[in-house]
Copies of this chain bind each other. A is one copy, B any other.
Amino acid sequence: MQTRSKTTYHHGNLRNSLIAAAEALLMQKGLTELSLREVAKAAGVSNAAPYRHFRDKTALIEALAEGGFLQLKAGCDRAQKKYPAEPARQLVEAGMAYLFYAIEKPAIVHLMFGGLISLDDCGAPLKQAADEAYGSLGQIVGNGQKAGIYQEADGADLTLTAWSTVHGLSLMVTGGLLHTRTKSRAQLKKLGESVAGILLAGFLKR
């Protein structure tokens, strides 16, 4: 179980352990029930220890949200690499990645935009991760514009619309509107593709 990390085990990179423990707890419990003390205990450390690594509870939550935005950016980058010459497909693929990430870790997606943290007033790393994720989606939209397949419109407006739709859909699906929790993964994929198709129709030239 020994890794190549500099610090042996018991002490060392507690920061990452706390993030991992918090993420694990969020898989089982709701956002409201998540307590810093419990996270500390799960990481095998005292109540006060987390405060060496996070200013307060919000700072830990910001770190979790940052991880979410990094995942979203990774999904966008992957979509661009996978379909280098098909911007429309990039957009759909990125959207589906977003949706499946939300299904996998609903609590993370919720805290990214649930009002618990403010992107206007947060630590620099979170702000940067959010901007980069948004920027990567903006690239995908830009690819379509350069290819001349989209209608004339402000790129920023298109990007905002795409993110809004995909994020909104993710919340509908994870938030429980219309008994979606009982739907199978295949059904959810079909749902996502339908919505992506309608969104894309609004982007394309007519």
Q: Which residues of A contact B (CB under 8 A)?
A: 30-32, 106-107, 110-111, 113-116, 118-121, 130, 134, 151, 153-154, 157-158, 160-161, 163-169, 171-172, 174-179, 181, 191, 194-195, 198-203, 206
Contact = CB atoms under 8 A, between A and B. Distances in A.
B113 A199 contact: no
Given A165-B164, A172-B164, A116 B194 contact: no
Q: Which of A30, A115, A163 has the most CB of B within 10 A?
A: A115
Copies of this chain, whole number: 2
Contact of A172 (B31, B160, B195): B160
Nearest to A206: B206
Given A31-B116, A198-B202, A167 B172 contact: yes
A198 B168 contact: no
A53 to B, nearest CB: 20
- Main SS class of interface, A: helix
Given A201-B202, A202-B201, A206-B206, A195 B164 contact: yes
6 contacts: A30-B115, A113-B172, A114-B114, A134-B178, A154-B194, A161-B165
Nearest to A57: B32
Given A164-B165, A164-B172, 18 more contacts: A31-B114, A110-B114, A115-B174, A119-B175, A120-B176, A120-B181, A130-B177, A154-B194, A158-B198, A161-B194, A161-B198, A163-B168, A163-B172, A164-B168, A166-B168, A167-B171, A168-B169, A202-B203
Contacts of A110: 114-115
Interface core residue of A119, A160, A178 (most chain B CB under 10 Å): A160
